[in-house]
Amino acid sequence: MKYYLDPFGCVKNQVDAENMMAHLNKEGWESVSDGEQADLIIVNSCGFIESAKQESINAVLEWRKLYPEKKILLAGCLAQRYEKELRETLTEADGFMGIENPPQITDAVSKVMNSAQSEKVKKTKTADKTILETGERPLLSLPGSAYIKISEGCNNRCSYCAIPLIRGGLASRTIPDIVEECRALLSRGIKELCIIGQDIGAFGTDAGSAKLPQLLNAISALKGHFWVRLLYIHPDHFPLQILDVMERDNRFLPYFDIPFQHASSKILTAMNRHGSAENYLALLKTIRARLQHAVIRSTFLLGFPGETEEDFSALLDFQQKAGLDWLGCFAYSREENTSAYSMKNRVSAKTASERKRIIEERQIPITEKNMEYFVGQTLDILIEERITGGGEDGENFLLGRLYCHAPEIDGTAVIAGSAEEKNPQLGEFVKCKVIAGRGIDLEVRLVG
């Protein structure tokens, strides 16, 4: 029997999808590349904000319209958060499955198929962590890169955030489990290990103390030439000890994803965040003083209840002083059962959207200027994609990433010149020289 998985949401959701695929494949299902070939379509949904929820629901509706006879399973965060309501209203889906236990996917699809064929699918006997530890899961990431989820849930309780409602409180994996998964992925030829969690700086605090530095030290003992990229560290408890590891082992990239969200003390307090613009700027100064080549990404949340023009001006001032390399912006989404849901002085969607536009426009020249720093440098590039006939004159070219580019969210490196003659392989490192900036992207030439 064949299935097609339609993925939505963040990379944490992607890892869940990969784990579900691993269990299905292990029990005899075959993954196919489009819905037309499939007996079953799995929509792995996002339930974080309103626009993401609607996108996942629309996917179910569109698949049902395209293929009235096929079975559709709605899985993931949306199904976890709203299963009861969706069973009554989203009759286009044949079944629902949340995120609590990926191995249950085989039982869920067996019930959905509800046919003699489903007898071919056995109930899974493997624990979810077995799939993780052995690195068996299919990878939906770009060539050479894999995500390692080191924890589930979150204890920060930001007032706007529905993650704890969906994924619960923080639950950290053990260091040996994570290291074994890293080792297994490296043995498959993976070159970049992206460490993820809702807040990886909090890793281990559910068991008493922050253990991210210890985890990095354990990964550092692994042999080989690979990158380790850290994503999503809450700025209010950034573990400065990780800088020691990065100074000692350059395989740990000086790339930091630190979601500041805002700079107004009033708004930060209302968000149940405990930092300040001054503290955040001091953190950036410390990182950059310790690691000269540091690259920093952040996110800002616009239009939070009570955000005035004065608060927005404080954020604009912070943006200029911080000089962030990369920045993502989001308009506030009012989510039921969060603390912010009932807050007064709501900001209109139009105002939030306009503030988001202003921030984004002001970030472009900052990022372009910061990318000029790399021009003239010789660096490793991870080759990701071969584009056929996509150049200005119909020529072929390659795309890749330098350490300053996180997968799929930052700019890219366009490989110029005789890349095809050198025939680099996707998912491999090659030396390159950065020869020019192309807006927020970089143009590079392969060397050696």
What is the distance, to the nearest Å, from the Cα of residue 139 to the centroid of all Cα atoms in its chain?
Answer: 14
Give residue 418's pLDDT.
57
User: Contact 73/41 with Cβ under 8 angstroms?
Assistant: yes
Query: Which residues on adjacent β-strands are paired with residue 73?
Result: 42, 95
117 and 144 part of one domain: no
Any idea what the CATH number is for the domain that residue 417 is in? Answer: 2.40.50.140
Whether 401 and 334 share a structural domain? no
Report the DSSP beta bridge partners of residue 328.
Answer: 299
Sites in the chain below the pLDDT cut of 70? 115-134, 389-395, 417-422, 448
- Note down the domain range covering 408: 375-446
CATH of the domain at 361: 3.80.30.20
Task: Give one DSSP letter per residue of 104-145, joined into a string.
Answer: GHHHHHHHHH-SGGGGGSPPP-S-HHHHHHHT-S---SPTTE
Tell whether 136 and 232 lie within a shared domain.
Answer: yes
Query: CB within 8 A of 330, min separation 6: which ones?
Result: 49, 299, 300, 301, 302, 356
| Same domain, residue pair 361 and 379 | no
Please give the model's pTM, rounded to 2 decimal places: 0.90
Residue whose entry in the numeric block shows the structure tokens 């959207």: 353
- The C-alpha atoms of residue 184 and residue 192 are separated, in whole angstroms, by 13
Alpha helices in 114-258 (DSSP H): 128-134, 163-167, 175-187, 212-220, 242-248
Q: Which residue, chain included where needed, has tokens 């996180």? A: 406
Residue 357 shares a structural domain with residue 380: no
Domain boundary pick from 102, 125, 148: 125
Q: Residue 52 maps to which CATH number?
A: 3.40.50.12160
Q: 286 and 203: one domain? A: yes
At 260, which amino acid appears?
A: F
Query: Which residues, 6+ apart, have CB-to-CB distance to 248 below 8 Å?
Result: 220
Q: Which of 125, 154, 179 is the last residue of a domain?
A: 125
Q: Would you state the pLDDT for residue 152? A: 92
Cβ distance 196 to 233 under 8 Å?
A: no
The candidate with the shortest Cα–Cα distance to 261, out of 200, 314, 339, 197, is 314
How many domains would you assign to the chain?
A: 3
Give the Cα separation of 240 and 258 in Å (integer).
Answer: 13
Residue 187 CB neighbour total at 10 angstroms: 10
Q: Are residues 121 and 133 in the same domain?
A: no
**82 and 229 co-located in one domain:** no
Bin 70: left if φ > 0, else alpha if -120 < ψ < 50, else beta: beta
pLDDT given for residue 396 in this prediction: 73
d(CA 36, CA 43): 14
Last residue of a domain, one of 125, 159, 184: 125
For residue 406, give every residue at least 6 positions away whose Cβ sits within 8 Å of its Cβ, in sequence order, or none.
194, 229, 231, 255, 257, 297, 326
> In terms of domains, do 23 and 100 share one?
yes
For residues 296 and 322, give the distance between their C-alpha atoms in angstroms, rounded to a whole number. 10
Specify whether 44 is located in the same domain as 164. Answer: no
Are 101 and 158 within one domain? no
Joined tokens for residue 232: 């999503």
Residues 205 and 243 in one domain: yes
